[in-house]
Amino acid sequence: MKRKIGTILEENLLVTAKQRAALEGRALSDLIQDALNDYLQQDPARGDALRASEKFCSHGSLLGQEEIEEILQEDMLIL
């Protein structure tokens, strides 16, 4: 069952979302629902690890992206 909600979004985000929905020929509510569903399906720990890895790698280092991801995977196994 679908329920109506009210929320406040940044104006530029709403404009961009409306444009994308129009471009794809679907309702804004469907676009938002799909985006929220995709977000909620992500593994929160994995998402944080990837963001940390990407941020670390964007500043340059001697370790490659794959090596850092291996280290993060090992750290996650220890937890």
CA angle 39, 17, 52 (to 5 degrees): 40
Domain boundaries, the chain: 11-41, 44-78
Which of 41, 40, 34 is closest to 17 using CA atoms? 34
Place of tokens 């985006």: 35
What's the pLDDT tens digit per position in 2-45? 889 999 999 999 999 999 999 999 999 999 999 999 888 877 66
pLDDT in tens, 48-71: 777 777 777 776 667 777 887 887
CA 27 – CA 5 distance, rounded (Å):
15
Q: What is the pTM of this model?
A: 0.55
